[in-house]
Structure 1
C-alpha cells in the first residue's frame, strides 16, 4: 500500500502533545487518577443514598398541580402515603382479635414522628376479603415525595419491632414511596450484578483478541476507573438536585462500554505502529514506542474525541427534557462519556509509557494467522466483494435492517403493570397481598377535583343534581369499585355520619370539592390511564372545571412530556451531530450518509425491543414472564439519544480512514477496501465487546433497563456488522468521488504534510488485533 500524506489538524496536534505530556510524566498522571478513583469510591459509599427512584414530579404538569392542591386544600397526602398489608391466620377469621390488633398498632404508629394519620382500608372500600388479611393506610407528614421515600426504612423497622412476636404474620409495606425506595436499593444491587456479568465477558473477548493477559486487562482497568469516577459525579449532582437511580445503570453500561471502546481504538493503532519497533536498534525502541503513541493519539485520539462529542450531544439532548428520570439519564451519560474520554486520552498513554512492548505480549498466546496481516487481508477481500457488487450488498443489508425494524410500527406506548417489577421487592409483595384481598385499587386511587370558575360554592341548589349525575357516572364505570364523595345536598343533615371525613372533601371556601375513586381490583394501569383522560369530558356543568390526579395522571403527564420531547431531542441530535461530522470530515454527502445510517441502526435496535418485550417473542429468555404489551415512552428516545452517538464512533473511525486514503490517492474504490482492511477488525471486536456489555443489562431484573440493554446491544451489532461492514461501504461505492466533494486529493499533498502510516502486510509475529 502507498503511504498517504495529509496536513495534521490543530486538534490532532493538540492530542499528540497531550500524549507526549502523559507519556513523559506517567507517575503524576497515574497518581492523579488513583486519587480521583479513591475519592470517587469514598463519595459513592457515603452519598449514593442521595439517588432517588421513579420519575420525580413534572414541573408545570397537571399531576404536580393536583398533588399540591390535594395537600394544601384537602390535606390528602397520597404521594406520601404507605400501605401496611398483613395476613395472620389468627386474625383473618376473628373479627374481635383483628380490631384489637388494629387499634394497638394504630396507636403505636401514631407515636412515630412523621406519621400523620392511620386509616383502615375498611373505611375506604366496602367488602374487602378479610379472610385474606387486612391493610392500613399510613399517611406521612413529609416535606415532599422524596422525604416520604426516606421514611420507608424507618417505618418498616418500627413495624418490625411491633410485630416481632407474631411469627405467623406475613406483612409488607407498599405504596408509591415504598416502590421508589425498593427500586433504588434494588437498582444498586442489580447494576452491580450486571457489571459483574459484563466485565468477565469483555475480558474474554479481549483475551482472544490480544492473546495476552496484560494487553487484555488494560481496557478493562480503564473502564472500571471511568465508571467509578462517572458514578461519583452523578452522586455529587444528586446532592444538588434530584437524580434518579436509573442513572446508575446508564453510567455503568456506558462507562464500561465506552471506556473499553475508546481505549481499544487508541491501543489498537498504537500496537500497529509499534510493530515497526522490531526493526529498530535496541537503543531506539523507547523512542519508537513514544513516537507510536504520539502518532496514535493524533490519529485515533481524534476519533475518540469526536465520538465523545457525538455521544455527549445525545446525552445533552435528554438533559433539556422536563422529566427528572430523563434528565438523570442525560446527566449519567454525560458523566460516563467525559470520564471515558478522559481516561483514554490521559491514563492510557501514562500506562503504556511504563509497560514495555514485550510485557504487553505476556503471556504470548497469539497464533500464526491470527495477527493483523491475516485479518487485514480478510477484510480487504471482503471490501473488494462489496465494491464489485454494491447493488446486492445494499439490497441484502437493507432487507435485514428493515425486517428487524418492522415490529416498531406496532409500538403501544405505556407503562407495564407492576407484575413486571421484580418480585423480590417488599412493595411488590404488598401489592400482591392487596390483590389477594380484592383491594389492589387502594394502591392507585384516582382523585377528581371539581372547582367553580367564579370562586363561588360548588355545591349549590342549581348544581346538586348534575354533581350527583357526575358522581354516579364515575361509580357506574366498570373500572371503578368505590367513590368517596362529599354530601351532595344543600339541606341540613339530620342523620349521623362522620362529618370530619366529609368536610375534608370540601375546601374551606367551598369553591372546590374532591371525589376519591378506588379502582376495581382487576383494573389495569393502562385502563386506568384511559379512564383519567375520559372523566373530565363527563362534566356537564357550565362554569365548573374538572381536573384529575393520582398515579395514572402522573403517568399520562410523563408520557405527554416524553412524547413532546421527541422532536426537540431528535432535531438537536441530528443537527449538532451533523455539524460535528461536517467539521471533521469536510464532506457534506459523507456526513449526511452517516446520519441516515445511524437512524437505520436505531430503528433496527428498537424494533427488536418491541419484538421481544411488547410482542413477547423470546421474552422468557430474558426472564420476563410474557409479553409486556406496552413499551414505556422513554425507551425509544433514550435508545436514540444513547445509540446515535455510540454508533457514530465506528462511522468516524471507518470514514475518516477512507478520507485519509482517498486524499492520498484519489481512488474511491481503494479507499473503501483499504479502510475496511485497516479498521474492520477493531470495529468488529469493539462492537462485540460493547454488545456483550449492553447484553448483560438485558438480563437485568428491571424491565426498562432490560429493554434499553437489548435495544443497544442489537443496534450496535447491526451497526458494526451490517451497516459499517456492508451497507455503508456499498453506498460509498455508488456515490463515488461525490462522497468527498468539495475535497480534492491534490490539496493535501504538500511538503509540510504529516505522515499517516497505513498498515503494511505484517508477518505472522505481528501483534495486531486479530478478531475479524
Structure 2
C-alpha cells in the first residue's frame, strides 16, 4: 500500500517487520531484554564509581593554561587545593593545643600520596578572625583539577578518622574542587529523589487515562527498564573517557519521560486500531491483535523512530562543546533516547503478544478503546472550532506564547553564587565558616600572571613603576581585600633572607611574576568574574602579557565556551532536524513550520525560567529566599538541545496523522480536525506525564536542575496544549493545500466526502474511528 506520496516506504516496512518479528517471537525477545536489564543493574552496582564527580578544567582555555602555569612555575596549586576549616573554643584559647592539633592533621594528611603540603591560611592572607575559627590549606599533587576533585572524599575520610574522638570540633573541607565535587554528587542523589516523586505521579495519570492497572503499568515498567540499561551504557563508556555524574540526572529525567512517551504512542495506536477492527469486523482475536500491532508499528512506531532521531540530534549537538559536563549531558541524553526507542519498538510488541485484551483491561473497569470515542468527540469539536476561526486562533495563541517568551529578553547571564547552593553540602558549610572568619575570599583568589614572551625579566627599571601602579589599582579595588606580589623593584634587595611565603611569586629566571588577589568576603562571583576580565586592561607594557586565573576565570571560560557553542549547536540541530522532517513528511512548508513552532516552545520554556528565577516572580515556590538575578549560560543551550527534540515528538505524531488522512481524502480541513481527534488525547496525556516528570526535577535542591526542570515542564505543556493544539492547526488551515506541496492525495472523493480506507497488516490505515467521532456514529454503524 506504499506509494511515492507515503512516508518513507522502506522505513515504514522495516518498522512493521520489526514489530511482526517481536510479536511472533516474544519469549526470545523478552529473555534478551531481561538478561540485558539484569546485567545493566549489576554493571551499575559494580562500576558506577567510574563516573567522575566535578567539572574538571576546560581543555585549551585560559584558566586551564594558567592553572598549569601556577603549578609548574610558582608551585601554586589553587585548582588542586582544598581548605580545611575548623572551630573549637578550646583551640581558640590555647595556642599550644592548636599547634599540636595542626601538627597531627598535617602529619596524617602528608601520609596520603596525593597531598603535597599543608600550611596555614595566614601564610597567604593577613588577619583572619582567629576567634571564629581557623583554616589550613591542603595542596594536592594531582594531574589536573579533575584529579583533585576525586581526592575530596579521600581527604575527608582521612580527616574524619583523625577526628573521630574529637566530636567537639566543627570542621569542613571546602574549596573550588570540593564545591564542584559536592554539587555533582548531590545532584545524583537529588535526581534519585526526583525520580521517586515522578514515577507515582506518572502512574496516576496513566491509571486515569486507561482505567486499568496493567495498561497503566506497562509504560512505567518499560521506562524503568530503559533508564537502567541507558545508565549502564554510560557507566561502560566511562571506562574509556571522562563522563560526569551529571549524566545520571539527565538519563533519569529523559529515560523516564521518553520511555513512557514512546511506549504510550505505540500502545495508544495499538488499542485504537484494535478497537476499530473489533467493531468493524469481529473475528479471530489473536489475528486482530497481531494486525493491530503491525499497523501501530507502521505508523506510531515510525513516528517514535523519527522523534527519537530528533531528540538524538539535539543531544549529540551538546557533545560538540569543550566542557566535560556539557558533553556528559549530551552523551547521557543520547543513551536515554536510544534505549527508549529500542524498548518501545521491541520490548513492547513482545509484551503485547503475550498479554490479551482482557488482561490489559483488568480489573474490568475499562473496555477496549476506553474513552476513545468520547475524547475524539471533544478533540474533533475543538478542531472544528480552530479551523472555523483560524486567524483568531493564530493571534490569540501567538500572543500568549510571545508573552511567556518575552522575559527571555531580560536575560542576565552568570553563575549563581554559593548562597544558592544547598546548605547541607559540606563545602558550603566550609565557605560559611570562612565568611565568619572574614576570609571567604581565600576560597576564590584571583591570580594575575605577568610574563614576557622573549624570556627577559618582567621587572625592570622601565616596567617596575607600572607594575606597582597595577598592584595599587588592584589593592584599591573595592572587590579585593589584599594582594600578594613579589618585590616590584629592579634594585637589589637589602633583606638578608628571603621573605616568607607558602609559594614563590616569581619564576627562577624572572620572566614571570604572580599577583595573588584575595577578594573581600562580601564579593560575589559575578563581581569577581568582571574583575578577572578587567585587570588585563589596566596595564600596557610592550612585550608583556597579563592573564588571570582562578575560579572566576574558569567561570568566564565556561561561559565563553558555552556561548561559542550556541551557533554550531543551533545550526546543527535545525539543519539535521529539518532534513529528517523533510525526509519523513516530504513537504517543505510543514517541515519549516515545525521548526519555527519548536523554536517558540524553547522560547517559552526559557522565558519562564527567567521570569521565575532571575526576575523572582514565584521563586519562593521553589525554595529560594531571593531571585538568582542570573541565569547560567549553560541553561538555555541545554533547554534548547533537550526541548527541541522532545517537542518534535508531538509535532511528528500529529502532523504525520494529518498527512495520512490528507493523502487518503485530499481535504486539508478534514485532515486537521480528524488528526486532532485521533491524537489529541494521547498528546495531552503524554505531555502531562512528561511535565510531571520534569516538574519533579523543578523541585530539586540544585538551582540549575530546578531551572532546567521548570523550563522543560512549562514548555512541554504549552507546546502540547497551545502550540500543537491551536497555533499549529490554525496555521495549517490558513496554508491550505500548500502544506503538502509537492505531495498529491491518492484517495477518491465521493459526494464531497473523503473515502475511508480500512486495511489490515502493515498497510495504510483508514480513519474510521475519527470519522465516527465526527458524525456522532459508532464505528460499527460507520461500516
Name the count of aligned residue pairs: 763
Stretch moving more, 461-470 or 640-649: 461-470
Determine if the alignment matches structure 1 residue 704 to structure 2 residue 713. no
Determine if the alignment matches structure 1 residue 173 to structure 2 residue 173. yes
Structure 2 spans left out of the alignment, 5+ residues: 749-754
Q: CA 1:642–1:608 in structure 2 vs 1: closer, same or farther (change >3 Å)?
A: same
Conserved 8 A contact 1:485-1:505: yes
What secondary structure, in the 3-state scheme, does the structure 1 residue paired with 2:746 have? Answer: helix
What secondary structure, in the 3-state scheme, does the structure 1 residue paired with 2:55 have? Answer: coil
Q: CA 1:544–1:234 in structure 2 vs 1: closer, same or farther (change >3 Å)?
A: same
What are the superposed Cα offsets for residues 331-352 of structure 1, whole Å, 9 maximum, x if unpaired? 0111011000000000000000
Q: CA 1:766–1:444 in structure 2 vs 1: closer, same or farther (change >3 Å)?
A: farther
1:326 matched to which residue of 2? 326
Query: TM-score when scaled to structure 2?
Result: 0.94
The answer to which structure, 1 or 2, has the higher relative contact order (CA under 8 A, 6+ apart) is 1
Q: Within 5 Å, give how 1:66-85 maps onto structure 2.
A: 66-85=66-85
Conserved 8 A contact 2:653-2:679: yes
Conserved 8 A contact 1:272-1:759: no
Query: TM-score when scaled to structure 1?
Result: 0.95
Determine if the alignment matches structure 1 residue 302 to structure 2 residue 311. no
Supply the distance in 1 between the matched residues of 2:113 and 2:12 (Cα, whole angstroms).
61
1:770 matched to which residue of 2? none
Q: CA 1:411–1:497 in structure 2 vs 1: closer, same or farther (change >3 Å)?
A: farther
What secondary structure, in the 3-state scheme, does the structure 2 residue paired with 1:82 have? Answer: strand
What secondary structure, in the 3-state scheme, does the structure 2 residue paired with 1:329 have? Answer: helix
Determine if the alignment matches structure 1 residue 110 to structure 2 residue 119. no
Conserved 8 A contact 1:458-1:513: yes
Determine if the alignment matches structure 1 residue 143 to structure 2 residue 143. yes
Supply the distance in 1 between the matched residues of 2:509 and 2:778 (Cα, whole angstroms).
85
Supply the distance in 2 between the matched residues of 1:23 and 1:751 (Cα, whole angstroms).
22
Q: CA 1:633–1:7 in structure 2 vs 1: closer, same or farther (change >3 Å)?
A: closer
2:724 matched to which residue of 1? 724
- State the Cα distance separating 1:250 from its structure 2 match: 0.8
What are the superposed Cα offsets for residues 262-281 of structure 1, whole Å, 9 maximum, x if unpaired? 00000001001112454599
Conserved 8 A contact 1:369-1:764: no
Supply the distance in 1 between the matched residues of 2:683 and 2:262 (Cα, whole angstroms).
11
What are the superposed Cα offsets for residues 333-386 of structure 1, whole Å, 9 maximum, x if unpaired? 110110000000000000000101100000132389961001101111100000
What secondary structure, in the 3-state scheme, does the structure 2 residue paired with 1:572 have? Answer: helix
- State the Cα distance separating 1:453 from its structure 2 match: 2.7
- State the Cα distance separating 1:447 from its structure 2 match: 0.8
Q: Within 5 Å, give how 1:263-342 maps onto structure 2.
A: 263-276=263-276, 278=278, 284-342=284-342
Supply the distance in 2 between the matched residues of 1:8 and 1:72 (Cα, whole angstroms).
59
1:687 matched to which residue of 2? 687
Conserved 8 A contact 1:6-1:754: no
What secondary structure, in the 3-state scheme, does the structure 2 residue paired with 1:501 have? Answer: coil
- State the Cα distance separating 1:502 from its structure 2 match: 7.9
Supply the distance in 2 between the matched residues of 1:67 and 1:729 (Cα, whole angstroms).
55
Determine if the alignment matches structure 1 residue 510 to structure 2 residue 519. no
Supply the distance in 2 between the matched residues of 1:601 and 1:89 (Cα, whole angstroms).
57
- State the Cα distance separating 1:302 from its structure 2 match: 0.5
Supply the distance in 2 between the matched residues of 1:110 and 1:143 (Cα, whole angstroms).
18
Determine if the alignment matches structure 1 residue 757 to structure 2 residue 766. yes
1:362 matched to which residue of 2? 362
Conserved 8 A contact 2:303-2:652: yes
Conserved 8 A contact 2:691-2:717: yes
Conserved 8 A contact 1:441-1:518: yes
1:678 matched to which residue of 2? 678
Q: Within 5 Å, give how 1:225-624 maps onto structure 2.
A: 225-276=225-276, 278=278, 284-366=284-366, 371-495=371-495, 498-499=498-499, 501=501, 504-624=504-624
- State the Cα distance separating 1:443 from its structure 2 match: 0.5
What secondary structure, in the 3-state scheme, does the structure 2 residue paired with 1:755 have? Answer: coil
Conserved 8 A contact 2:308-2:338: yes
Q: CA 1:655–1:452 in structure 2 vs 1: closer, same or farther (change >3 Å)?
A: same
What are the superposed Cα offsets for residues 536-583 of structure 1, whole Å, 9 maximum, x if unpaired? 011132221101101110110110111111111111111111111111
Supply the distance in 1 between the matched residues of 2:25 and 2:220 (Cα, whole angstroms).
22
Supply the distance in 2 between the matched residues of 1:606 and 1:184 (Cα, whole angstroms).
23
Supply the distance in 1 between the matched residues of 2:719 and 2:236 (Cα, whole angstroms).
34
- State the Cα distance separating 1:6 from its structure 2 match: 5.7
Structure 1 spans left out of the alignment, 5+ residues: 768-772
Conserved 8 A contact 1:371-1:765: no
Conserved 8 A contact 2:8-2:584: no
What secondary structure, in the 3-state scheme, does the structure 2 residue paired with 1:346 have? Answer: helix
1:737 matched to which residue of 2? 737
- State the Cα distance separating 1:412 from its structure 2 match: 0.4
Supply the distance in 1 between the matched residues of 2:534 and 2:228 (Cα, whole angstroms).
47
Conserved 8 A contact 1:487-1:502: no
- State the Cα distance separating 1:595 from its structure 2 match: 0.6
Supply the distance in 2 between the matched residues of 1:369 and 1:181 (Cα, whole angstroms).
50
1:157 matched to which residue of 2? 157
Stretch moving more, 637-646 or 243-252: 243-252
- State the Cα distance separating 1:496 from its structure 2 match: 5.3
Supply the distance in 1 between the matched residues of 2:776 and 2:18 (Cα, whole angstroms).
33
Supply the distance in 2 between the matched residues of 1:562 and 1:114 (Cα, whole angstroms).
32
